[in-house]
Amino acid sequence: MRYIVLALFLALPALAALGHDIWLAYGKEFDYTKPIRLSNLGWLWQVYHGETYEWARENINPDSWKNLVEPLLLQKSVIVGLFPVAIYVAFKAVTWIFGLGEFQGRGLLLNRLPRKTIAREEAVARNKRAFKYSRK
Q: Give domain limits for the chain.
A: 2-103
- 113 phi and psi, to 5 degrees? -80, 145
Which positions ≥6 away from 56 have C-beta within 8 Å?
A: 69
Q: Mean pLDDT over residues 73-79, rounded?
A: 95
Would you state the pLDDT for residue 122?
Answer: 66
Of the candidates 100, 128, 131, 103, the residue with the CA atom closest to the CA atom of residue 116: 131
pTM of this structure: 0.68
- The answer on pLDDT for 41 being more than 90 is yes
CA triplet 97, 99, 102: central angle to 5 degrees? Answer: 120
The one-letter code for the residue type at 123 is A
Whether the Cβ atoms of residue 21 and residue 44 lie closer than 8 Å to each other: no
